[in-house]
Amino acid sequence: MARFIFITGGVVSSLGKGLASASLGALLQARGYSVRLRKLDPYLNVDPGTMSPFEHGEVFVTDDGAETDLDLGHYERFTGVAARSTDSVSSGRIYSTVLEKERRGDYLGKTIQVIPHVTNEIKDFIKIGEDEVDFMLCEIGGTVGDIEALPFFEAIRQFSQDRRGECIFMHLTLVPYIAAAGELKTKPTQHSVKELRSIGIAPDILMCRAERPIPEKEREKLALFCNVRPDAVIPALDLNSIYEAPLAYHREGMDRAVLEAFNIKDAPAPDLTKWHDVMAAITQPEGEVKIAIVGKYTQLGDAYKSIAEALTHGGIHNRVKVKAEWIDSEIFETDEDVTPYLEGFNAILVPGGFGERGTEGMINAANYARTHDVPYFGICLGMQMAVTEAARNLAGIKDAGSEEFDHEAGGKRFTPIVYHLKEWVEGNRTIQRATGDDKGGTMRLGAYNAVLAEGSRIAEIYGTTAISERHRHRYEVDMSYRAPLEEKGLIFAGISPDGRLPETVEIRDHPWYIGVQFHPELKSKPFEPHPLFADFIRAALDQSRLV
Ligand code: GLN
């Protein structure tokens, strides 16, 4: 039977609850326990699939095709446990399930209420797969006091009553430094805990984010006023790298406090070797590479969270620091000459995106990389635009483009070499989606297999010809352009097992030019960098030695 750890937040949002949860998961694993992490989000969207990247950051896709919160990416990166669709839920999904049941008559004529119907649905979600792991960590999105979050707090309160002794609560707050007083202030934390206790939840552990060390006196004060043991007040100071968090929180006693709260006395000592190795590579790099990321949502770092992390992992693998610079592809549309923006970078990455805005700039960036022998990595839309560039400038299809942009404009402006795939063979999925088929409309979501050509650059990088990667896209490169493009040197090296859908392209007569239709960044981990990112950074390093 699993033990449950509920992680809540107070005072302000964006304190890094996801990272704290992920780090705790990693520490429990380091002590030999199995873990699963879950996110319960109070917003009313059914899932983040339809939210703008500017609103919500990256949409993290699971193998089984769910579009989830980006915190699930942290969970996977820190624990290596592949997230499932049943690890993420929102108020919207809970309510829509309850309403579906009501319409079906499942409640036998009862009046449907938040308590018990909505709270029961939440409790059922928390329990899914409980006998598979030692610890289930459930993070509640938002902050205590949010109106939408109330049913979640009520549900976890009830849950801890149903399962006495099997649940603990960890509350993450902020202890701000007030310069005028020269002091760290505990009052916001006291208020936040008071709020939590007023809805029946007494935290067992307090994680306190602070920009400077919390003196013993303040720590004791927090313990006294918030009714927790002093050694369960864990300072969480700002860190230079997120991958320092497991080590830093361990030093501050986070995992020990959790074990004590459960009264576990015989826990094995943690083996933190892999985290020490990761941090050694981050803190003692032997070089540096500069990567330009030419994308659409560059104003918001979180929109390409997994890409930024995967690049860091590639740097860890090569023991170099990766300096990633985000460039809005739109600027290349007004300014045709991209050289001033792109010279000086050791490699160029064009990530995914939706809609036409900025895509001509991506095509210009792909052209620059191809013609200047600069390593190029195109991901999803970045592959589609690389193929479009090759079609226009190598195969002579001057008006090559994607049907996606024609759709937007309602006219036929392009020869669609990237087209809307209206239906696809479900047979080549590795894993069936656990939730409804209507998710994401007509998008191809989740893990699909691809076959890589023997002897191709990409097969060499993966070290295999059979791969499975996660997808999130609606449009596909048209196979009928394969022959003319291959004749000009753009090779369709990876194809879906049924032979219908191009999965990867590459140019062999180039230091590193690869496009992939899937999202390799979603599966990269600091201690297990994705081979494509590891090799992309190696190529960037080679390039840096040329200049
Ligand atoms: N907009 C493109 C499509 O739907 C690419 C999607 C993406 O980059 N994730 O196919």
Cα angle 330, 334, 336; round to 5: 105
205 and 319 co-located in one domain? no
22 and 171 co-located in one domain? yes
Contact 327/345 with Cβ under 8 angstroms?
no
Measure Cα distances from 244 to 170, 255, 273 in Å: 20, 15, 13
Which amino acid is it at 67?
Answer: E
Residue tagged active-site, from 218, 380, 389, 476: 380
433 found inside a domain = no
304 and 389 co-located in one domain? yes
pLDDT value at position 412? 75
Helix (H) or strand (E) holding 174: strand 167-174
Token output for 386: 């690389």
DSSP, residue by residue, 340-392: HHHTT-SEEEE----SSTTHHHHHHHHHHHHHTT--EEEETHHHHHHHHHHHH
pLDDT value at position 408? 66
Q: Which residue has the tokens 């989830």?
A: 68
261 and 290 co-located in one domain? no
Helical spans, DSSP H, in 128-201: 150-162, 187-198
444 found inside a domain = no
Provide the domain count of the chain. Answer: 2
542/346 Cα distance (integer angstroms): 8
Q: Cα-flanking dihedrals φ and ψ of residue 86, to 5°? A: -85, 15
**Which residues lie across from 39 on neighbouring strands?**
88, 139
Contact 444/473 with Cβ under 8 angstroms?
yes
DSSP, residue by residue, 55-98: HH-PPEEPTT--EE-THHHHHHHHH-PPP-GGGEEEHHHHHHHH
Site to substitute for ligand 1 among 58, 304, 381, 518, most atoms within 8 A of C-beta: 381
- Output the residue whose Cα is nearest ligand 1's atom 1: 354
Sign of the Cα torsion 138, 141, 142, 146 reads negative
Of the three residues 255, 278, 301, the one that is the final residue of a domain is 278
81 found inside a domain = yes
98 and 182 co-located in one domain? yes
Residue 339 in 3-state DSSP?
A: helix
Residue 185 in 3-state DSSP?
A: coil
127/435 Cα distance (integer angstroms): 17
Of the three residues 236, 251, 278, the one that is the final residue of a domain is 278
415/4 Cα distance (integer angstroms): 55
167 tagged catalytic: no
126 and 15 co-located in one domain? yes
Helical spans, DSSP H, in 105-149: 119-127
- Tens digit of pLDDT at every position of the chain (547 positions): 899 999 999 988 888 999 999 999 999 999 999 999 999 999 998 888 777 777 778 899 999 999 999 999 999 999 999 999 999 999 999 999 999 999 999 999 899 999 999 999 999 999 999 999 999 999 999 999 999 999 999 999 999 999 999 999 999 999 999 999 999 999 999 999 999 999 999 999 999 999 999 999 999 999 999 999 999 999 999 999 999 999 999 999 999 999 999 999 999 999 999 999 999 999 999 999 999 999 987 777 788 899 999 999 999 999 999 999 999 888 877 767 888 899 999 999 999 988 888 899 999 999 999 999 999 999 999 999 999 999 999 999 999 999 888 766 666 788 899 998 776 555 444 443 333 333 345 688 999 999 999 999 999 999 999 999 999 998 999 999 999 999 999 999 999 998 999 999 999 999 999 999 999 999 999 999 999 999 999 999 999 988 6
C-alpha 49, offset from chain centre: 13
pTM value is: 0.92
pLDDT value at position 303? 84
Pocket of ligand 1 (CB under 6 A): 352-354, 380-381, 404, 472-475
Task: Please give the distance, rounded to the nearest whole angstrom, from the Cα atom of residue 475 to the centre of ligand 1.
Answer: 6
What is the CATH number for 240?
A: 3.40.50.300
249 and 297 co-located in one domain? no
259 and 308 co-located in one domain? no
226 tagged catalytic: no
380 tagged catalytic: yes
293 found inside a domain = yes
- Output the residue whose Cα is nearest ligand 1's atom 9: 352
Of the three residues 214, 245, 278, the one that is the final residue of a domain is 278
Q: Is 10 exposed, middle or buried (0-12, 13-18, 19+ CB in 10 A)?
A: buried
222 and 351 co-located in one domain? no
Task: Please give the distance, rounded to the nearest whole angstrom, from the Cα atom of residue 514 to the centre of ligand 1.
Answer: 17
Query: Among 302, 314, 301, 350, which residue's Cα sits nearest to residue 329?
Result: 350
185 found inside a domain = yes
Site to substitute for ligand 1 among 67, 304, 473, most atoms within 8 A of C-beta: 473
Site to substitute for ligand 1 among 329, 350, 354, most atoms within 8 A of C-beta: 354
Contact 511/294 with Cβ under 8 angstroms?
no
Token output for 509: 């007569």
Between the two ends of the chain, the Cα-to-Cα distance in Å is 58
pLDDT value at position 302? 82
73/54 Cα distance (integer angstroms): 17
185 and 307 co-located in one domain? no
Cα angle 344, 346, 351; round to 5: 110
**Which residues lie across from 328 on neighbouring strands?**
295
399 found inside a domain = yes
Q: What angle do the packed helices 305-318 and 273-283 form, to 10 degrees?
A: 90
412 found inside a domain = yes
16 and 137 co-located in one domain? yes
100 and 210 co-located in one domain? yes
236/207 Cα distance (integer angstroms): 6
Domain of 11 in residue numbering reads as: 3-278
What is the CATH number for 363?
A: 3.40.50.880
Q: Which atom of ligand 1 is nearest to the CA of 475?
A: 10
**540 Cβ neighbours under 8 A, 6+ residues apart:** 289, 290, 291, 346, 347, 375
Task: Please give the distance, rounded to the nearest whole angstrom, from the Cα atom of residue 36 to the centre of ligand 1.
Answer: 30
91 found inside a domain = yes
Helix (H) or strand (E) holding 457: helix 457-462
